[in-house]
Amino acid sequence: MGLGDGLTIRVPGDKSITQRALILGAMAHGESRIGAAPRGADPLATANALRALGVPIHGLDGPATAPIRIEGPGPRRWRQPRSSVDLHNSGTGARLLAGALAAQPLSVVLRGDESLSRRPMRRIAEPLRRMGATVEHLEGGGVLPMRVAGGALREIRHDGRVASAQVKSAILLAATGAGVPVEVREPRRSRDHGERMLEAMGVQLREGWQDGAWSVRIDAPPGRLAPLDMDVPGDFSSASFLLAWAVLAGQTPRLTIRGVGLNPTRTGFLAVLKRMGVEAEAAERGDAGGEPYGDLLVAAPERGLRAVAVGGEEVTGMIDEVPILAVLAARAEGVTRITGARELRVKESDRLAALAVNLRRIGVRVKELPDGLEIDGTSRALAGRVECFRDHRIAMAFGVLGAAPGCDIPVDDPGVADVSFPGFWRLLERVGDEARGRDRSARSTKKEQSRCPVVAIDGSAGAGKSTTAAAVAARLGFRHLDSGAIYRAVTLALLDSASGAGEVESISTAELEALGIDVHWGDAGMEVRIRGERAREEDLRAHRVTAAVSRVSAVPAVRAHLLELQRSAAEGPGLVAEGRDMGTVVFPEAALKVYLDADPRERARRRILQQGGAEPDAAEVEAEVARLRARDARDSTRVVAPLLKAADAQRLDTTDLDPETQIERIVQLVARALKQARSPLPAP
Ligand code: DC
């Protein structure tokens, strides 16, 4: 298989590695740099917990391309937090932090959200107590909330009953933090991200099989840990969903995923794919923080998928990939048997139960075993709604299956994918579109646009896009499509409907139809209608609509429903289409795409003036800048239709431009784009 022929993508950074890097950076002495760290919910929860413990962490609010910097205060220098420390949904964060806290002379209560508070903590608490820390489950049951009071620890040897990278890391962190030797043994070899990072920070480890157990020893922990300087590789588990997509997509070209972590304790899924008849390869390219990384290549099997048996040691190296393996098994020939995966019952959900229930719901025969599943593959059409149980991997696994030919599988909670893979649904859609070539609707768009030039305008809040788009349209005699007004009309109609907007995430096509949203073009421009009645501007801009519209517009079914309506606006001499996804989804072939931006202070100033305020002073501007930044971060990281500049959009910085100049610039850009479109470069 060669690189370059077919699709090439990247996936977000590995969150296990990121969370370990954050905690180890906070234990180190000096400044650590963690590049390409994903800003998903779990890493943010861990970083915020460390901040609450007095560790300065910078760059978290920046884009994922900007590095995170951690000022490691050195050994046992964390501060007593004022209240309990919340790890939200991060199991890795809670368990590893418990280990690191065992070495700190503090008394800290760790808590988590409802789902994390059901996950077992006793397996961490017990060895930490033997080391000399006080660990109490404040509400019993061996779960969170849990108080960890640490300090001087003693050496132990831990014989784990199950292989668990989190337990192993917690004990290694406790020992390293306290400066005492330790040995951790486990029946199978679990992931070794912690060990690799500790080595990169100057800790000497001795590892190997001994009397049937995998043993990791630290004999002489150093007084201080050297800071880390690394770029987080792409998450193999996230990549595995796309590998599976390529396998299921049928006539797909080859898929290459670049820069993925290839730690051998994580890549067990590749061997299983090969046994299923898939051509899959990993090409190592380098090393970061002790972690190997490289490119993954996969091609769909020519003769269909074969069922496999997976169990024992092999499952440990692909435990997170069991959900995606289960959906592949649904499409394989024969019965796939997965065993040795009991651990999955205590993940974000009881994954074995969640997989069994959902596979049955879509028409797959499946038997649930105490520690696994037996799945009878089928080539019949699979359809039905699946329940995610707040579990990102369940959502993504069925999302991948739903994207395969002959499957119609809506998931009830797509947003949960955000936990480990922000942008998952967008990427799935993109690879799908690319693999199919240009899909039907894009072709119809192209036809319409050959008659009607489209200018797509988008931009950050306060950059002046609405007024600019309207004025440009007026100057050119084009229609002005205000897509935000259409999303507002849907929201208004929903709020006024019997069911309200409460369950919009599960809205059906029929219910969307029934809202009766339409657009009419008259002398005064665009008019949005709700069941034939013009929606009034003041109703569309009412506070209750503004408060609900971002949730409504994040629902994929709503967006899909509005697609053709928006495309039908491209008629007449030309169209200025304003809003979120105009240049990426609705009019991907727009003649010109403009992305308006401005210095945050200027954007803040304009917003205050726009809302009817007087010329603001510096403090008012700063306060608005903070609100804008928070909104930018939310807007650009949301899963569905995030605010992002289209790759081929021209960025126009309007900071120093008065409105008239701004409009003039865009009109000139339009003229140039239209001229180029009329006279394409002669063929060589
Ligand atoms: O631009 P506006 O404030 O009227 O937009 C209303 C909401 O709709 C805002 O939350 C962004 C969202 N929106 C969207 O998701 N996609 C669009 N094409 C336009 C607006």
| DSSP string for 596-644 | EE--HHHHHHHHHHHTTPPSP-HHHHHHHHHHHHHHHHHHHH-SSS---
pLDDT, tens digit (0-9, with 9 covering 90-100), for 538-561: 999 999 999 999 889 988 788 888
The H or E element spanning position 429 is helix 424-435
Whether residue 8 lies inside any domain: the answer is no
Write the CA distances from 383 to 218, 301, 332, 642, integer angstroms: 52, 23, 17, 28
* Closest alpha carbon to 589 in 453, 423, 439, 398: 453
Sign of CA dihedral 193, 194, 197, 203: negative
Write down the catalytic residue from 14, 320, 482, 632.
320
Among 231, 266, 290, which residue terminates a domain?
231
Question: If you measure from the C-alpha of residue 485 to the centroid of ligand 1, how many angstroms do you get, rounded to a whole number?
Answer: 7
Whether residue 510 lies inside any domain: the answer is yes
487 lines ligand 1 (CB under 6 A): yes
Instruction: Give the tokens for residue 324.
Output: 């995606």
Shared domain check, 337 and 415: yes
Number of domains the chain contains: 4
Shared domain check, 182 and 95: yes
Question: If you measure from the C-alpha of residue 585 to the centroid of ligand 1, how many angstroms do you get, rounded to a whole number?
Answer: 14
549 lines ligand 1 (CB under 6 A): yes
Tell me what the pLDDT averaged over the chain comes to: 90
Shared domain check, 205 and 145: yes
Question: If you measure from the C-alpha of residue 677 to the centroid of ligand 1, how many angstroms do you get, rounded to a whole number?
Answer: 29
Question: If you measure from the C-alpha of residue 643 to the centroid of ligand 1, how many angstroms do you get, rounded to a whole number?
Answer: 10
Whether residue 446 lies inside any domain: the answer is no
Shared domain check, 261 and 170: no
**pLDDT category of residue 448 using cuts at 50, 70 and 90:** very low
> Which residue is closest in CA terms to ligand 1's atom 9?
550
Question: If you measure from the C-alpha of residue 199 to the centroid of ligand 1, how many angstroms do you get, rounded to a whole number?
Answer: 48
Shared domain check, 579 and 516: no
Whether residue 7 lies inside any domain: the answer is no
Atom of ligand 1 nearest to the CA of 553: 15
What is residue 639's predicted lDDT score, i.e. its pLDDT? 65
* Closest alpha carbon to 470 in 577, 572, 608: 577
pLDDT, tens digit (0-9, with 9 covering 90-100), for 406-447: 788 889 989 889 888 888 998 998 888 887 764 444 444 444
**Domain with 402 in it:** 236-435
What is residue 369's predicted lDDT score, i.e. its pLDDT? 97
Question: If you measure from the C-alpha of residue 550 to the centroid of ligand 1, how many angstroms do you get, rounded to a whole number?
Answer: 7
584 lines ligand 1 (CB under 6 A): no
Tell me the C-alpha distance between 244 and 404, whole Å.
Answer: 10
Higher pLDDT, 309 or 254: 309
What is residue 440's predicted lDDT score, i.e. its pLDDT? 43
> Which residue is closest in CA terms to ligand 1's atom 14?
580
Q: What is the DSSP letter of 586?
A: I
Shared domain check, 375 and 259: yes
Does residue 99 register a pLDDT over 90? yes
562 lines ligand 1 (CB under 6 A): no
Contact assessment for residue 276 and residue 308, using Cβ atoms and an 8 Å cutoff: yes
Q: How many CA atoms lie within 13 A of 272 on its CB side?
A: 31
Shared domain check, 182 and 274: no
553 lines ligand 1 (CB under 6 A): yes
Tell me the C-alpha distance between 133 and 2, whole Å.
Answer: 54
CATH number of the domain where residue 538 is located? 3.40.50.300
What is residue 4's predicted lDDT score, i.e. its pLDDT? 42
> Which residue is closest in CA terms to ligand 1's atom 5?
484
User: Can you name the residues that pair with 529 across neighbouring β-strands?
Assistant: 518, 534
Shared domain check, 164 and 256: no
Q: What is the pTM of this model?
A: 0.61
Whether residue 258 lies inside any domain: the answer is yes
Atom of ligand 1 nearest to the CA of 540: 4
Does residue 505 register a pLDDT over 90? no
Q: What is the DSSP letter of 386?
A: B
550 lines ligand 1 (CB under 6 A): yes
Backbone phi and psi for residue 653, each to the nearest 5 degrees, phi listed first: -85, 115
Tell me the C-alpha distance between 175 and 168, whole Å.
Answer: 11
Tell me the C-alpha distance between 439 and 526, whole Å.
Answer: 28
Atom of ligand 1 nearest to the CA of 487: 8
Question: If you measure from the C-alpha of residue 520 to the centroid of ligand 1, how many angstroms do you get, rounded to a whole number?
Answer: 19
pLDDT, tens digit (0-9, with 9 covering 90-100), for 555-601: 878 888 898 899 889 988 899 999 988 887 788 888 999 999 999 99
Among 516, 551, 567, which residue terminates a domain?
567
Q: Which of 425, 468, 549, 640 to mutate to test the pocket of ligand 1 (most atoms within 8 A of CB)?
A: 549
> Which residue is closest in CA terms to ligand 1's atom 13?
484
Question: If you measure from the C-alpha of residue 482 to the centroid of ligand 1, how many angstroms do you get, rounded to a whole number?
Answer: 9
- Tell me whether residue 231 is one of the annotated catalytic residues: no
Atom of ligand 1 nearest to the CA of 640: 15
Return the minimum-mean-pLDDT range out of 58-72, 120-134, 160-174, 324-338. 58-72
Shared domain check, 52 and 24: yes
465 lines ligand 1 (CB under 6 A): no
Shared domain check, 340 and 213: no
Shared domain check, 608 and 459: yes
Q: Which of 458, 468, 480, 487 to mutate to test the pocket of ligand 1 (most atoms within 8 A of CB)?
A: 487
Atom of ligand 1 nearest to the CA of 641: 15
User: Can you name the residues that pair with 653 across neighbouring β-strands?
Assistant: 597
Reduced to 3 states (helix: H, G, I; strand: E, B; else coil), residue 223 is coil
Among 567, 587, 609, which residue terminates a domain?
567
What is residue 63's predicted lDDT score, i.e. its pLDDT? 79
Whether residue 447 lies inside any domain: the answer is no
Atom of ligand 1 nearest to the CA of 582: 18
Q: What share of the chain is helix, strand, coil (3-state, %, to 5)?
A: 40, 20, 35
Question: If you measure from the C-alpha of residue 318 to the centroid of ligand 1, how many angstroms do you get, rounded to a whole number?
Answer: 40
194 lines ligand 1 (CB under 6 A): no
pLDDT, tens digit (0-9, with 9 covering 90-100), for 206-263: 999 999 999 999 999 999 999 999 999 999 999 999 999 999 986 556 899 999 999 9
CATH number of the domain where residue 283 is located? 3.65.10.10
The residue type found at 391 is D
What is residue 32's predicted lDDT score, i.e. its pLDDT? 97
Whether residue 202 lies inside any domain: the answer is yes
Pairing of strands 309-310, 335-338: parallel
> Which residue is closest in CA terms to ligand 1's atom 15?
553
- Ramachandran sector of residue 532 (left: φ over 0; alpha: ψ -120 to 50; beta: rest): left
Whether residue 5 lies inside any domain: the answer is no
> Which residue is closest in CA terms to ligand 1's atom 20?
484
Instruction: Give the tokens for residue 262.
Output: 């290839």
580 lines ligand 1 (CB under 6 A): yes
Shared domain check, 176 and 35: yes
Ranges of H-type helices in 179-321: 193-200, 236-248, 268-275, 313-316
